[in-house]
Amino acid sequence: MKTISILHLGGTIASKVSKEGGVVAQFTAKDIQNLYPEIKKLAKINSRLLANMMSENMNFKHYNLIAKEIKKEINKGIDGIILTQGTDTLHYTSSALAFMLENLPIPVILVGSQRSSDRGSSDAGLNLISAINFINQTNFAEVAICMHSSMEDTSCSILPGTKSRKLSTSRRDAFKAINSTPLALIYPDKGIDFLKKNYKKVDKKRNLTLKLLDPKLKIGLLKSHPHFSLDDIKPYKHYDGLVIEGTGLGHLPIEKTDSFTQENQKIYNELKNLAKTMPIILTSQCIFGRINMNVYSPGRKLQEIGILGNLLDLTTETAFIKLAWLLSNHKKSEVPDLISENLRGEISDRTSTEFLED
């Protein structure tokens, strides 16, 4: 039997309906083990609580804490780590850990649930058991997410840590791989079906290096929209970096086309000034596909003033985390080159026809 450490951070998987009627995170590590006693038959389980919180309350300090606690567990010689937390920011955490845990020797699998563990329809049990089985039966050694692959209790997906996203507020199969496919499917009765064979394998001789996030950094996250204005951008003047979720292939309202769009020239000038002081990464509001700022003239103008992100298929959430990680561990002058490098599987080498038009 393998030895697996389960680190708990609260969230719906550790929640139950309170007397007041709302769902709150209040389970202990022992409570979760008692709810699913069968996991003790699958592996030697070390379970402890790091925090009891809903994931929207997490920040960079929590990511640093998690990374340090993971290193402690790895130093004990365990075979794998499962991290349970709320689903709302699960994909932010998986991205952060993928970047922060350099030379990871064993698997780190993040598990959540869409429905609290005290409900008969909870997805928590299958998600947790599937993550344990995946660690037991494979030599996978990366950061990944394990969640339901459908609304039924038929299988779970192992999803890439830097290319996944929550796409539904309540469905049990809310998490999907973006511009990618699941790494594997886990069936309760049929074992594991690997969909990708190119992954890092367990090697306990690898020495884990922690590259943490700087909690003092201020990284902005701004979404373009109709009636966008100069005032939308001004608050980020004193930030360290900015991610802007643009439209389509990577567009922002920067062109004056008639008497109603005079504000757009001001937006362009402000972006030009900001790009001289901080890295600005452009992503797309579209879920699938990649940025291509070469197609339309506004995209070319954005590149000319130093807006980054062209030809990348980073999700907005991963772009936010990657920019924070780069500014925490590298010189600002290195960001333009490194943002385009595929460091942790966050950028696809090519866009599959599955995510392109017919």
CA pair distance 98, 92, nearest whole angstrom: 10
CA pair distance 230, 287, nearest whole angstrom: 26
Amino acid letter, 202: V
The question of whether 87 is a catalytic residue gets the answer yes
What are residue 125's phi and psi, to 5 degrees? -60, -50
Q: Please name which of 194, 243, 353 lies closest in space to residue 288, comparing C-alpha atoms.
A: 353
φ/ψ region of 179 (left if φ > 0, alpha if ψ in -120 to 50, else beta) reads left
Active-site residue (options: 12, 93, 162, 283)? 12
Q: Please name which of 185, 172, 176 lies closest in space to residue 121, comparing C-alpha atoms.
A: 172
- Provide the 10 A C-beta neighbour count for residue 350: 7
User: Measured on CA atoms in the order 41, 42, 47, 52, is the torsion positive or negative?
Assistant: negative
Quote the tokens at residue 175. Answer: 């998490």
Q: Please name which of 339, 335, 344, 267 lies closest in space to residue 301, comparing C-alpha atoms.
A: 267
What are residue 328's phi and psi, to 5 degrees? -80, -25
Active-site residue (options: 166, 173, 283, 315)? 166
Q: If you search the block for the tokens 């950094």, which residue do you land on?
A: 217
CA pair distance 83, 90, nearest whole angstrom: 10
Quote the tokens at residue 129. Answer: 């058991």
For residues 136 and 144, the answer to whether their CB atoms sit within 8 Å is no
Amino acid letter, 37: P
Active-site residue (options: 79, 84, 87, 240)? 87
For residues 16 and 26, the answer to whether their CB atoms sit within 8 Å is yes
Give 195's DSSP letter: S
The question of whether 166 is a catalytic residue gets the answer yes
Active-site residue (options: 88, 123, 173, 240)? 88
For residues 156 and 169, the answer to whether their CB atoms sit within 8 Å is no
Active site residues: 12, 87-88, 166
